[in-house]
A = this chain, B = another copy of it.
Amino acid sequence: MTKKIESHQNKILKWVKGLSLKKNRDKEGVFIAEGLRFVSEIPEEWEVQLFMVSEDFAKEEELGCYEERAQTYVVSDELFALVSDTENPQGILAVCKKQEEFDETIWKKEAPFFILAEELNDPGNLGTLIRTADAAGVDGIFLSKGSVDVYNGKVLRATMGSIFHVPIFQNVSVQEIASKMKEQRISLFAAHLKGEKYPYDLPLTKGCGFLIGNEARGLSDEAASLCDCWVKIPMPGKAESLNASMAAGLLMYEVVRQRLK
């Protein structure tokens, strides 16, 4: 069954609109997946709180699959534009539950493979990192306090749905995660301009993690000191550094290469 919302003052509409703010997403433990492709990526077992669609969308698409799953609200195109995060809305969004519980079983995997990022700030970078981590088969991504929110619209769009595939843990303490990795005998490597080893010489078929620094400042000295080894990505050309998500991607794919054999 669908319900119609016709007023700007409607409580549900205002609540969905409020989710563009991080503090409201945090309070409610939900986020917005917008657009047909993104919504179609929501796994069956994932909890959806509600769907909201525009009248134009409702005219052209069957709503049955949405109604079965969660309460579905139809709003005018004008009202939909108010809750949309994009310039040309496709007319569909889902309010999804965050997966916030820390899953201790990720430590028990055989040869797990993690990313730990310190204060990654750029939404596009974080989104690309998550998408690449998903392709590379990363077992978990840890984001330190001070990183951009994973549930920010720009980050979500750049993930292309990978947000549903890779466990992501926000607001972690880099020190705590590094200790936990040490305890589990997972080697922690950092991309660092002063690195001594090339990624190709690291033992990556065993449990491993990579520590990635902030786009402008790089890794803090404190975080860098927690690593087993600093890694140098070769740069035979003239550029002095790589984009943070590119550096992370190159390291993750070295794990993929070594584990293919």
Contacts and interface: CB of A to CB of B under 8 A. Distances in A.
Interface residues of A, number: 37
B131 A162 contact: no
A132 B242 contact: yes
A13 to B, nearest CB: 31
A131 B243 contact: yes
Interface string A114-151: 00000000001000100111111110000000000000
Contacts of A256: 234, 236
B165 A246 contact: no
A198 interface: yes
A160 interface: yes
Given A200-B260, A260-B200, A162 B238 contact: yes
Contacts of A160: 239, 241
A245 interface: yes
Nearest to A249: B246
A237 B136 contact: yes
A257 interface: yes
A226 interface: no
A172 interface: no
A112 to B, nearest CB: 13
Contacts of A81: none
A63 to B, nearest CB: 26
B128 A237 contact: no
- Nearest first, the 3 closest Cβ-Cβ pairs linking A and B are A137-B237, A137-B236, A134-B239
8 contacts: A128-B243, A131-B246, A132-B246, A135-B236, A161-B239, A166-B237, A233-B253, A249-B249
